[in-house]
């Protein structure tokens, strides 16, 4: 399928916008995930949905140009983040995967917690994006959906 | 000082990982940087030798445990100090040596990474105070030595040798695991110090035989004892620094260490004594005998190593304080001369390009220093004064003579092995180093002046250490006494002497040397005869038999695997569904009086009924649809229906996930559907009826299970814990997310790993097809 045959400018622009919104929204979901519906897994799927729609309309090459990295790099960095979050507690002699927290009070915001689960969740987020993109791009390349 | 030991072992492991980062910075100088770590440990151990007195055992417990009772507690006592000193000392020299030896290899960083891991595992092994920790380190040495032996993995021989050693030592490792579990079960703890202190009489325990045999197999495989000895000569395929390290003081001596460590717990029975003596005697003599028939310098050394290991096992089997003392001294002796000789062999190999003693000659001229060090090591191997080898050999004789009952058979075999050692040392000396032989001089690639000093440092230091300790053996008294206290649990005065005066032992030595010289003089007929015997034994060529057994095993395994893994997706599904149904049906029939529990339902809500009806209609449509697209779309309707159900019951996270994944799947389907072949009915009526029956039965079964599970509550549901602690302990209000990233984070870790594997699978599958198409 060659998309040079039918170019649809309106569709292309809408999809680009859609992708941007999805990616930003996914960050929002990732950050709020600990207290409200959301989290790394959902955020990962949302972001990759945006990417997939983009790839369907623009082709995989355009998608590769936008995300710059190989999708496998997402997986690798995500897994490393997860392992870092898992083994950070070991350094201070705690069990693997113990959640470590920093608690501060920020003016306006109020009580604020920051902890290793967020690193972990970010890792999950990256892995999910990487996995879905790897699979989809592999399939699309076989279909010559460039 | 010794408190820093665990830290340094950790540093060794870390350096193995960091090699990748360090290599681009230091390039050829990497070996220098890495050698600092074993040197530090060596110095630390030397200093703390003073710390640990005769009868103290320093325990270094750890806060971190892998599982309850399984931690990385370390201990510091005489025995581990001796082993640790040799491991790190020779390790330091080997790393320096390797930094020049490996300079033309492509994968230097890999090599140093494996070597450092191996060193770390080995150091961990001898200092571990936890049986399970010891087992983990034991297996790590097997794995890393596999990588080291098979380092030249483009050669089939290397790969085979590596695999062989891994399979054999890995098998032994499993035996060790079982033995460790049994010992732990009996003693109630895995800490070696606690096991010994508990005073449980293991020898009287009904499971003693089993434990002992398991330990024995572990030792025999690791220390290359008959009939598992054959992996060691095969391992000579490794680069020479590896052989110098693995076969002098580390890998193969792990078995010796284990025996000494377990000595207070398991020794003292007839079984222990005679099985070790038997294995040791056979190995000792066989190794010495076979070494005489070899041509390759490294293979000669490999067989003498086997012989030396046999001697040590034999001595441990004898089990008197004197024999243990002899074992320890002999271990040091062997480590020093064998490490040196292997490195000398490597130097000769580098400078001449061959290791064949029939070709080599007159090495003295181009390589004078190497020759001196090599000859010193050979003197030690032959057991001549004034090297430490002489002290060791005398002690071995003393131990063998003072063995009541069976010394008449052991002593002659021991002397026989020693005669062979003398003859081999002489042969190597004359064939390789001596200037006045008739053979033509061999062409030299590197004279000694062109070799860097640190390449010759290793054999030099080891040979001089052997000489110095031989001249002043009293320096070892305290160290050996410390180690003896740990193994025999009694204080023994150790007086090592170079010169014992004129006695029966010395006569034996002289007798052995004389016979050795005679064997050397007649070496041509002797080697011919030995080669002949080797040929006879070739019918029972153990490596071949081993490989045949392995291949047969793989063949049978392959045959049966194919029967189960036939590759038809539909039959996999069918097997899975039918099996699950059968098991659950059996359970339900067995455990419940009524098949279908009715009643106790909550009120039926109209919106859910409508949702279910729509979903059911969609399912029916999907089954009977004649178009793929509509079938897939209707399955999508089912998926969204399930998502809505989640939503109606308040599981928002689940609902979102369901909707999203449903969307992604739908998109993927629609993308590939264009490329699928035309829809066709391929199945016949019979199989369709069968499928309908199976699916209906599975559906009914699942419904019944769900109905039952509603009424079952054997334990308090764990969700209560999650709800109570989510905000307090994990600082999150979204319980689903808290479970995912905190309470059950390990599960998530596993899941994303599986996801990654799936992605890699898909990726490689498609890459492969793309490549094939483009060809």
Would you say residue A102 lies in a domain? Answer: no
Question: Between β-strands B65-67 and B58-60, what pairing exists: parallel, antiparallel or unpaired?
Answer: unpaired
Contact B671 A120 (CB under 8 A): no
Tokens coding B56: 């103290």
Q: A81 CA to chain B: closest CA distance, Å?
A: 11
- Beta partners for residue B65, in sequence order: B71
- Neighbouring C-alpha atoms within 13 Å toward the C-beta of B387: 25
**Cα separation of B78 and B332, whole Å?**
13
**Cα separation of B9 and A146, whole Å?**
52
Would you say residue A134 lies in a domain? Answer: yes
Would you say residue A108 lies in a domain? Answer: no
**Cα separation of B703 and B239, whole Å?**
64
- Total number of domains constituting chain A: 1
Q: A109 CA to chain B: closest CA distance, Å?
A: 16
Tokens coding B616: 């059911």
Contact A97 B759 (CB under 8 A): no
Contact A36 B733 (CB under 8 A): yes
pLDDT tens figures, B374-429: 889 988 888 887 888 888 888 888 888 877 777 778 888 888 888 888 888 988 88
The shortest CB-CB distance from B740 to any of A1, A39, A93 is to A39
CB B458 within 8 A of CB B97: yes
Structural domain harbouring A34 = 9-76+120-142
CB B523 within 8 A of CB B423: yes
pLDDT tens figures, A9-63: 888 899 999 999 999 999 998 888 888 888 888 899 999 999 988 988 888 888 8
Cβ burial, residue B619 (10 Å; 0-12/13-18/19+): middle
Q: A34 CA to chain B: closest CA distance, Å?
A: 5
Residue of A nearest to B747 (CA): A97
Quick one: what percent of chain A has pLDDT higher than 70?
90
What DSSP state is assigned to residue B29? G
Closest CA to B256 of B301, B231, B225, B227: B225
Would you say residue A49 lies in a domain? Answer: yes
Q: B734 CA to chain A: closest CA distance, Å?
A: 4
Q: Which of A83, A97, A144 to mutate to test the interface with B (most CBs of B within 10 A)?
A: A97
φ, ψ of residue B290 to 5 degrees: the values are: -70, -30
Q: Which of residues 44-83 of A touch B (CB under 8 A)?
A: 45-46, 48-49, 52-53, 56, 72, 75, 78-79, 82
CB A91 within 8 A of CB B708: no
pLDDT at A2: 46
The distance between the two most distant Cα atoms of chain A, rounded to a whole number of Å, is 62
pLDDT at B55: 63
Tokens coding B741: 């990233």
How does residue A1 score in pLDDT terms, banded at 50, 70 and 90? very low
Q: Which of A26, A35, A74, A86 to mutate to test the interface with B (most CBs of B within 10 A)?
A: A35
Would you say residue A31 lies in a domain? Answer: yes
Task: Give this prediction's pTM.
Answer: 0.76
Residue of B nearest to A57 (CA): B671
Task: Give me chain A's average pLDDT, please.
Answer: 84
Q: Which of residues 9-48 of A touch B (CB under 8 A)?
A: 33-42, 45-46, 48
Give the mean pLDDT per block of 10 residues along chain B (775 residues): 80 86 82 88 84 70 76 85 91 90 84 91 90 92 91 87 89 93 89 84 87 92 86 86 87 90 86 89 88 86 91 88 87 90 89 83 82 89 83 83 76 86 88 78 78 86 88 82 80 74 80 87 84 76 82 91 85 91 87 73 84 92 86 90 90 87 85 80 86 92 84 74 79 81 86 91 82 64
Tokens coding B474: 């009293």
Residue of B nearest to A111 (CA): B731
Q: Which of B13, B728, B741 to mutate to test the interface with A (most CBs of A within 10 A)?
A: B741
Measured between beta carbons, which residues in chain A are less than 8 angstroms from residue B729? 99
């Amino acid at each position: 399928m060659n998309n040079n045959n039918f170019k649809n400018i309106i569709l292309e622009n809408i999809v680009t916008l859609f992708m941007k919104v999805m990616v930003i929204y996914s960050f929002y979901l990732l950050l709020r995930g600990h207290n409200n519906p959301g989290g790394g897994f959902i955020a990962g799927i949302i972001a990759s949905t945006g990417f997939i729609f983009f790839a369907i309309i623009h082709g995989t090459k355009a998608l590769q140009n936008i995300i710059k990295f190989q999708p496998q790099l997402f997986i690798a960095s995500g897994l490393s983040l997860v392992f870092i979050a898992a083994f950070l507690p070991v350094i201070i002699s705690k069990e693997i995967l113990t959640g470590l927290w920093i608690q501060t009070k920020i003016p306006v915001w109020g009580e604020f917690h920051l902890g290793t689960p967020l690193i972990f969740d970010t890792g999950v987020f990256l892995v999910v994006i990487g996995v879905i993109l790897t699979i989809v791009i592999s399939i699309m390349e076989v279909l010559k959906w460039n | 000082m010794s408190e820093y030991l665990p830290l340094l072992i950790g540093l060794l492991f870390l350096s193995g990982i960091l090699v990748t980062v360090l290599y681009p910075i230091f390039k050829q100088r990497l070996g220098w940087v890495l050698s600092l770590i074993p040197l530090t440990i060596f110095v630390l151990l030397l200093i703390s030798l003073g710390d640990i007195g005769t009868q103290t055992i320093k325990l270094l417990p750890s806060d971190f445990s892998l599982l309850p009772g399984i931690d990385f507690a370390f201990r510091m006592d005489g025995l581990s100090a001796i082993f640790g000193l040799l491991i790190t000392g020779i390790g330091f020299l080997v790393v320096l040596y390797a930094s020049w030896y490996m300079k033309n290899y492509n994968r230097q960083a890999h090599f140093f990474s494996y070597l450092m891991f191996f060193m770390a595992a080995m150091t961990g092994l001898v200092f571990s105070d936890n049986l399970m920790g010891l087992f983990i380190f034991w297996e790590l040495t097997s794995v890393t030595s596999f990588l080291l032996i098979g380092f030249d993995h483009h050669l089939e021989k290397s790969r085979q040798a590596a695999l062989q050693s891994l399979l054999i030592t890995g098998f032994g490792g499993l035996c060790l695991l079982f033995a460790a579990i049994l010992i732990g079960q009996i003693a109630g703890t895995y800490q070696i110090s606690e096991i010994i202190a508990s005073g449980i009489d293991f020898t009287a325990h009904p499971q003693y035989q089993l434990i002992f045999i398991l330990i024995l197999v572990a030792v025999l495989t690791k220390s290359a004892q008959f009939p598992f000895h054959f992996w060691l000569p095969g391992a000579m395929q490794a680069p020479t620094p590896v052989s110098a390290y693995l076969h002098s003081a580390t890998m193969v001596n792990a078995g010796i260490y284990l025996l000494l460590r377990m000595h207070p717990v398991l020794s003292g029975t007839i079984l222990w004594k005679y099985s070790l003596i038997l294995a040791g005697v056979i190995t000792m003599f066989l190794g010495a005998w076979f070494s005489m028939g070899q041509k390759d310098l490294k293979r000669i050394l490999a067989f003498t190593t086997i012989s030396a290991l046999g001697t040590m096992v034999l001595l441990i089997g004898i089990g008197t304080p004197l024999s243990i003392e002899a074992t320890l001294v002999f271990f040091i002796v062997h480590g020093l001369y064998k490490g040196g000789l292997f490195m000398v062999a490597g130097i000769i190999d580098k400078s001449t390009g061959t290791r064949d003693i029939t070709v080599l000659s007159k090495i003295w001229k181009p390589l004078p220093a190497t020759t001196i060090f090599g000859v010193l090591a050979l003197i030690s191997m032959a057991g001549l004064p004034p090297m430490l080898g002489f002290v060791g050999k005398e002690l071995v004789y003393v131990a063998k003579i003072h063995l009541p009952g069976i010394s008449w058979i052991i002593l002659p075999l021991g002397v026989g092995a020693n005669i062979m050692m003398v003859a081999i040392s002489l042969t190597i000396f004359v064939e390789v180093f001596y200037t006045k032989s008739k053979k033509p001089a061999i062409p030299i690639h590197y004279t000694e002046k062109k070799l860097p000093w640190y390449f010759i440092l290793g054999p030099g230091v080891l040979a001089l250490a052997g000489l110095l300790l031989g001249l002043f053996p009293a320096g070892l008294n305290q160290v050996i006494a410390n180690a003896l206290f740990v193994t025999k649990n009694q204080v023994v005065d150790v007086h090592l002497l170079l010169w014992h005066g004129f006695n029966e032992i010395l006569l034996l030595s002289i007798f052995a040397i004389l016979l050795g010289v005679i064997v050397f003089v007649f070496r041509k007929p002797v080697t011919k005869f030995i080669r002949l015997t080797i040929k006879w034994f070739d019918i029972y060529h153990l490596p071949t038999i081993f490989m045949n057994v392995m291949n047969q095993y793989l063949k049978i395994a392959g045959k049966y695997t194919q029967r189960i893994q036939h590759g038809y997706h539909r039959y996999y599904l069918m097997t899975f569904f039918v099996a699950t149904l059968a098991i659950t049906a059996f359970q339900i029939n067995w455990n419940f009086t009524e098949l279908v529990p009715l009643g106790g339902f909550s009120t039926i809500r109209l919106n859910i009924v409508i949702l279910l009806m729509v979903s059911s209609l969609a399912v029916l449509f999907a089954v009977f649809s004649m178009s793929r697209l509509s079938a897939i779309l209707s399955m999508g309707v089912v998926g969204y229906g399930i998502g809505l159900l989640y939503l109606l019951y308040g599981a928002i996270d689940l609902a979102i996930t369901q909707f999203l994944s449903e969307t992604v799947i739908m998109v993927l389907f629609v993308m590939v559907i264009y490329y699928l072949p035309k829809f066709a009915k391929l199945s016949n009526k019979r199989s369709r009826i069968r499928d309908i029956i199976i699916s209906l039965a599975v559906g009914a079964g699942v419904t019944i299970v769900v109905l039952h599970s509603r009424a079952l509550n054997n334990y308090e549901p764990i969700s209560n814990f999650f709800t109570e602690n989510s905000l307090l302990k994990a600082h999150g209000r979204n319980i689903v997310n808290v479970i995912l990233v905190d309470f059950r984070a390990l599960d998530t870790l596993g899941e994303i790993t599986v996801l990654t594997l799936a992605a890699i699978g898909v990726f490689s599958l498609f890459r492969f097809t793309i490549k094939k198409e483009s060809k």
